Amino acid sequence: MREILFDRFGGPDVLTLHTDSPRPEPAEGEVLVEVSYAGLNPLDFKIRDGSSGMAEGLPLPAGTGREMTGTVLGAGADLDLAELASRGLAPGTRVFGMRRPEDRRGVAAEVIAIAADDLSPVPDEVSSQDLPRWAGLALAGLTAIATVQDAAELGEGRSVLIHGGSGGVGQLLIPMALEAGASRVWATGRAANAERIRELGAEPIPYDEVDWREALREATGGEGVDVVLDTHYFSTFEPSLDLLRPGGDSLIVVLPSLADLTPARERGITARIPRIVTGRDRLDRLVHGMRSGAYPLEASRVLPLSQIAEAHRLLEDGHTRGKLVVDVRS
């Protein structure tokens, strides 16, 4: 089968398309899936270049990608047809999902074996043209749930600033923050994406046209916000500390897992890094949000599998709107 592998850490060019990889055998509790699309995330290039903690001790050559959509082919010996049907994962079912953190195998391959608990059925009414959005849903969606629900513990009446409102995670953070009861939500992004941020329900702050710090101070009358959700960190974390409303219940949540929270803690500010929790219940929540239109995630661009190096370059550029996806079939 075809599969993307890399045999050393480095830039996008280390990613190689192999055409003779062996087809995997599902282990206990695993399902065999024919992959249609694989979603891309910053974590992918951080594993590829060795900067992620998930790259430590990673056996090489290794696959790439964490999330996907595809069609169930079968399962391990412990999951018979009746068991698969009871989970909604009968052969022929379209599914989406992501590998749990401890499973470091890639998904950019024609066929993968993946834990049944890390998959959820794609609704029957979803068209084939809409499948790329579902390929990019699991990791972004589970990250957003962990950020809003677990780390920020957002509740009624809280004001929120989101850095990166038009990105893959940002497009889900905005509706989830509002769903949790946030009173007002501001989101930074490029001016070209201001209307998209507004459509999602937030007030856009075009950082390429205005000083986002001054814009937020003006918008809040100098009071700042209760919560900052920071998908960027490097240029935004420390400046955001000055924009939190004074008081013991303000906090900042930073998404990069290796972020240094010391500057916040030295100032007595609560700072957290979300930890993704996988599982069928949270995947099913994402299904409900997509079906209802509450989570209108975009797949801004779909590239063929053979162009995955170019997809990684676009990903590293950091200005992607919505999700980048690769078509594993092409």
Beta strands 16-18; 3-6: pairing state? antiparallel
Pair of tokens at residue 219: 């918008």
Q: Is the pLDDT of residue 300 over 80?
A: yes
Q: Are residues 192 and 309 in the same domain?
A: no
Percent of the chain with pLDDT over 90: 94
For residue 169, what is the domain's CATH number? 3.40.50.720
Reported confidence tier of residue 156, pLDDT bands at 50, 70, 90: very high
Q: Are residues 236 and 265 in the same domain?
A: yes
Q: Are residues 151 and 128 in the same domain?
A: no
Q: What is the domain extent for residue 174? A: 144-272
In a domain, 164, yes or no: yes
- 297-317 CB burial, b ≥16 within 10 A, e <16: bbbbbbbebeebbebbebbbe
Mean pLDDT of the chain: 96
Q: In the Cβ-directed half-sphere of 152, how many Cα atoms lie within 13 Å?
A: 32
Beta partners for 161? 186, 228
Q: Is the pLDDT of residue 258 over 90?
A: no
pLDDT at res. 317: 86
Reported confidence tier of residue 257, pLDDT bands at 50, 70, 90: confident
Mean pLDDT, range 81-106, rounded to an integer = 95
pLDDT tens digits for range 48-69 = 999 999 999 999 999 999 999 9
Reported confidence tier of residue 318, pLDDT bands at 50, 70, 90: confident
Q: Are residues 156 and 66 in the same domain?
A: no
Reported confidence tier of residue 278, pLDDT bands at 50, 70, 90: very high
For residue 21, what is the domain's CATH number? 3.90.180.10
Q: Are residues 97 and 176 in the same domain?
A: no
Cβ-based neighbour number of residue 49 at 10 Å:
17
CA torsion angle 292 37 174 188 (round to 10): -150
pLDDT tens digits for range 30-42 = 999 999 999 999 9
Q: Is the pLDDT of residue 320 over 90?
A: no
Mean pLDDT, range 169-175, rounded to an integer = 97
Mean pLDDT, range 172-178, rounded to an integer = 98
Q: Are residues 207 and 315 in the same domain?
A: no
pTM of the model: 0.94
**Closest listed residue to residue 75, CA positions, set 88, 84, 66:** 84
In a domain, 287, yes or no: no
Q: Are residues 97 and 117 in the same domain?
A: yes
In a domain, 205, yes or no: yes
In a domain, 48, yes or no: yes
